[in-house]
Amino acid sequence: MKLRLSVLLVPALLAAGCGPLTGDEAPVVDELTGQVLQEATTKYDMHRLLEDSDVTGGTAITPAQVQQFLQQQGSYLAGYTDPAYGKTAATLIVERSRASNISPLYMLARIQGESSLIQSGTSTNLSKATGCGCPDTSGCDAQYVGFGKQVECAAKKMRGYLTDLEAGRATISGWKVGVTKATSDPCSVKPVNMATAALYTYTPWVGAYATQCGRTTVGGSSLMASIYNRYLTAYPWPTSAEGCYSGTVDATVQEASCVQSSSDALWRQCLSGTFTAGGTVKPSNCTVSFPYCQSTRLGRGVPTRTCVQTSSTVWQQCGAEGVWRSSPGAGTTGVGPMGACYAVYAL
């Protein structure tokens, strides 16, 4: 699948690595997007664009920190709430990324590289924020239109590529660690790690920010390395976590905690600061668990933080270990003892 490419339009964070054009130099325009590329003074090895931990790390990053970063950049997303999800852009970036064990910081770079939304004060390209399912030659696939859907799509795509690579398989487009393959520039690239192979699967161009080869009039996957490394030092991101952030719980849960995800009902366990891949069976060694709570009134199970009215005066919220907790104000405030209601079911 060919995915939309874009460029870093605002130079504020690039002072250390990419400078503006000077003198009588003609601007270089991305031949795929028509946008102006910044001149690169820091470039990256096309065989090792990012580390695996760059793409899968960031477990300690919270929605509040992403929100602060968006505000710092003057981003339109700082004031955006996705109507389809009822959640802020910052929450969706963290929640949807971590649900697929993808770093929110990588996702910020992906959004900027594809749509410039992180550093733009306008909503242009909002519906195709990550370029996922959006070929250059046509519009976006309807199932992926919308900010939250775009973030979720990008996270799931990267997770799928990494899962194949972790199993020793090539990705859907044939990229594999240690195997040479031609990009669309064209360049002969031999990825030395899974992150690099996954990046080329998502965007099969080296682009203008590599030390070797690369089409100078395309941003390409090397642009992801450039943006990621600028963003890494542009904000005091936490470097480690005592546990894992869970979008389902909307909090950082302790090591060895188990969460039944609100997105797919699969169980994931926090191990060494990262959630494991999802499974249908709850792990046997959970220090604490956050399963679905069984609701007699609804006749089914519902995720942690769900708020349900059971009588004219009684509200409850699904809590740890599948226990319903009294939540008298949920009907008016949308908040219970576990925090904001994941969903609200009134009589």
**Helix axis angle, 104-115 to 147-166, nearest 10°:** 120
For residue 296, what are the contacts with CB-CB under 8 A and spacing of at least 6? none
Q: If residue 230 lies in a helix (H) or strand (E), which one and from where to where?
A: helix 220-234
- pLDDT recorded at residue 39: 74
- Concatenate the DSSP letters of all residues of 243-273 into one string: SEEETTTTEEEPTT-EEE-TTT--EEEEETT
User: Could you tell me which residues are beta bridge partners of residue 251?
Assistant: 246
- pLDDT recorded at residue 209: 95
- Consecutive 10-residue runs of the chain (347 residues): their mean pLDDT? 38 34 62 68 93 89 95 98 94 91 95 93 92 73 89 95 91 97 97 96 95 93 95 89 82 90 93 87 94 97 97 95 93 89 95
Residue type, 301: G
CB burial readout 161-179, b (16+ within 10 A) else e: bbbbbeeeebbeeebbbee
Residue ranges covered by each domain of the chain? 11-234, 242-290, 292-347
CA-CA-CA-CA torsion sign (249, 250, 255, 260): positive
- pLDDT recorded at residue 1: 36
Q: If residue 302 lies in a helix (H) or strand (E), which one and from where to where?
A: strand 300-302
Q: Write out the two tokens for 227.
A: 């943006």
- pLDDT recorded at residue 92: 96
**This model's pTM is above 0.75:** no
Cα separation, 117 vs 120, in Å, equals 5
- pLDDT recorded at residue 142: 81
